[in-house]
Every structure is written in C-alpha cells, then in structure tokens.
C-alpha cells in the first residue's frame, strides 16, 4: 500500500512511517524542515532498503505548499492511507496569548489536514478505498490546562474528523481520529519529565497500524490513549 504521512521527520510521525515501512509499505512523507526530513528518510532507507520512500519538504501551514505537496503525491501515486500528523503545541491562556496565535495554530493543526485531505480525496474516492487518520489530541476532548489556541485547533480537527467520517462512510473510505495524551518525543527533552511516566511514539504507531488491519466493514472511529499514570 501507499502511505502519505505529514510531520514525518520525528516523533509520532516518524514512528508511524517506521511501522509501515517495516511491514513493506511505500512511503510518501513530508515535514517542514528539509534537513530533518532528509535525516529521517536516510534512516528509514537504511533500515528498510526494499521499501520505496519518497519525500518532499513543505510548510503545511501555507495552503500553496499543501497544494504543491498534494500534486507531488498524486503524480506518484494514489494514497491508500493518509496520516495527517503535522502540528505543534504552543501553550497559552486565551486572555493573554499572543495576537495571531489562534490563526497560526489553526493553519498548522487544522487547515493542513483540511486542505491536504480535500486535495487527495478525489483520487481516493475513485478507488473507493482508503483510510484517513487525523492526529488529534486529548486536548480535543475537553478543556485543557494552558491549552488556549492549541486546544481550540484540536477540537476543530476532531470535528473535521467526525464530519469527514459521516460523509465517507458509504464510499469505502475510513476515517479515524487519534487522540493521544502525553507522548515522549524530543520536545520533552530537558523538561525533567520521567520518560517512563508517559507514552512512547511507537505506542501510537502500533495502534494506528492495527486499525488498518481490520475487515473492510469495520472501522476504529476514535483511538484515545493516555499514559497509564494519567495525564500530566
């Protein structure tokens, strides 16, 4: 199968890319920073030399770059699986976060998925098969301390996922919203948080891969994962 993954250079995105590569699937990946993406792809190609892995750097907070990445993907393949993982967290309180923070968070955390999905969807619909994963958050499910604009953007991404699922459920395309709690990635380095107290990126990847192994008539609508010890 052909797998498109955004935000694939590190963390959850890289772990997802790795598990699909390990199972012999072709990867078409992007990330904002070209150097980090090149390192990730080089590592994947070294470990999985028999898998086709292609990459294109793109800042998916910019619609024109989303469009360019979508055209690049479609020139190579029609995706069977799309993982909308691009996103980032900026803490803040609504009453005093910086002007423009909500727009910035929406552009990356919501509109990247919205525009890319819409660009790739006609080809997926023509095949009448596919699976779209949107990486949401625990912050999509309820008020999140110091979440601010981030939480709003992730609420919106979950809403997008639910509406998309409703539209596509009779067209052979599955939609899964993934809502993880704290996952140990590079962003936690130096934070003082014990890595053993929160999840590993591979935990999320394993659940996503498992959701792709079901019969055509079954769908995992939502994946909610938290650290065993609870949210931070």
Stretch 153-158: mean pLDDT, rounded? 98
Q: For the segment 81-98, what is each residue's pLDDT rounded down to a tens digit?
A: 999 999 998 989 999 999
Within-domain flag for 110: yes
pLDDT at 190: 67
Residue 189: both structure tokens together? 């380095």
Residue 230 domain flag:
no
What average pLDDT does range 174-180 have in this prediction? 98
Question: How many whole angstroms separate alpha carbon 202 and alpha carbon 11?
Answer: 9
Range with lowest mean pLDDT among 100-114, 129-143, 190-204: 190-204
- State percent of the chain over pLDDT 70: 98
Encoded tokens for 58: 């793109």
* CATH number, position 169: 3.40.50.720
Of 3-12, 85-94, 206-215, minimum mean pLDDT range: 85-94
pTM score, two decimals? 0.95
- pLDDT tens track for 49-84: 999 999 999 999 999 999 999 999 999 999 999 999
The per-residue pLDDT for 230 is 87
pLDDT averaged over every residue in the chain: 95
Is residue 153 in a domain? yes
Residue 83: which domain range?
Answer: 2-225
Asked if the structure places residue 134 within a domain, the reply is yes
Cα 70 from chain centroid? Answer: 15
Mean pLDDT within 197-210: 95
Write out pLDDT tens, residues 107-134.
999 999 999 999 999 999 999 999 999 9
DSSP states along 165-231: HHHHTTTTEEEEEEEE--EE-GGGTTS---GGGSEEHHHHHHHHHHHTTS-TT----EEEE--TT--
In-domain check, residue 70: yes
Contact 140, 158 (CB under 8 A): yes
The answer as to whether 29 is a domain residue is yes
Q: How many domains does the chain have?
A: 1
- Report if residue 115 sits inside a domain: yes
Residue 231 maps to a domain: no
**Pairwise pLDDT comparison (151 vs 196), residue with the higher score:** 151
């Amino acid at each position: 199968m052909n797998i498109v993954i955004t935000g694939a250079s590190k963390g959850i995105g890289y772990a997802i890319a790795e598990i699909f590569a390990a199972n012999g699937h072709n990867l078409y990946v992007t990330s904002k920073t070209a150097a980090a993406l090149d390192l990730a792809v080089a590592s994947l190609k070294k470990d999985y030399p028999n898998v086709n892995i292609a990459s294109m750097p793109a800042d998916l907070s910019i619609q024109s770059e989303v469009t360019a990445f979508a055209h690049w993907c479609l020139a190579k393949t029609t995706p069977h699986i799309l993982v909308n993982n691009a996103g980032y967290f900026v803490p803040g309180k609504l009453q005093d976060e910086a002007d423009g923070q909500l727009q910035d968070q929406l552009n990356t955390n919501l509109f990247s998925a919205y525009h890319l999905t819409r660009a790739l969807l006609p080809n997926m619909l023509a095949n009448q098969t596919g699976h779209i994963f949107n990486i949401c958050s625990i912050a999509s499910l309820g008020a999140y301390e110091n979440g601010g604009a981030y939480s709003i953007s992730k609420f919106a991404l979950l809403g997008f996922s639910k509406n998309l699922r409703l539209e596509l459920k009779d067209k052979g395309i599955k939609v899964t919203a993934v809502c993880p709690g704290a996952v140990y990635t590079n962003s936690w380095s130096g934070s003082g948080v014990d890595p053993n107290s929160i999840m590993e990126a591979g935990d999320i990847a394993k659940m996503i891969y498992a959701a792709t192994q079901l019969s055509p008539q079954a769908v995992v609508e939502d994946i909610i994962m938290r650290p065993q010890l609870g949210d931070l």
